[in-house]
Amino acid sequence: MKLQVKVSPGKKEEKIEIIDGVFEISLKERAEKGKANIALIKLLAKHFNTSSANVKIVKGLASRNKTIEVKQ
């Protein structure tokens, strides 16, 4: 399944909200050297109860707006 995601890095707490079909995700990690992307993949894998290997950033690697593919 593919998801539209809006990421906010560098927040105090990690959380996932779904607003109008878009996952709005707050991450503790800052957007430096791909750390936020790694944290995003781990958080979504935990949320969907799957392995991190099944979560892939399809579009928007360097953007806050991303398209994510989750295989289950």
When divided into structural domains, the chain yields a total of 1
Q: How far apart are CA 55 and CA 70, in angstroms?
A: 5
Q: Collapsing DSSP states into helix, strand and coil, what is residue 47?
A: helix
Alpha helices for 1-72 (secondary structure H): 35-47
Q: What is the CATH number of the domain that holds 6?
A: 3.30.1200.10
User: What's this model's pTM, rounded to 2 decimal places?
Assistant: 0.92
Instruction: Render pLDDT for 3-52 as a digit per residue (tens, 0 to 9).
Output: 999 999 999 999 999 999 999 999 999 999 999 999 999 999 999 999 99
Q: How far apart are CA 6 and CA 9, in angstroms?
A: 10
- Confidence at residue 67, expressed as pLDDT on a 0 to 100 scale: 97
Confidence of residue 58 (pLDDT cuts 50, 70, 90): very high
Domain boundaries, position 46: 2-70
Q: Collapsing DSSP states into helix, strand and coil, what is residue 65?
A: strand
- Confidence at residue 72, expressed as pLDDT on a 0 to 100 scale: 78
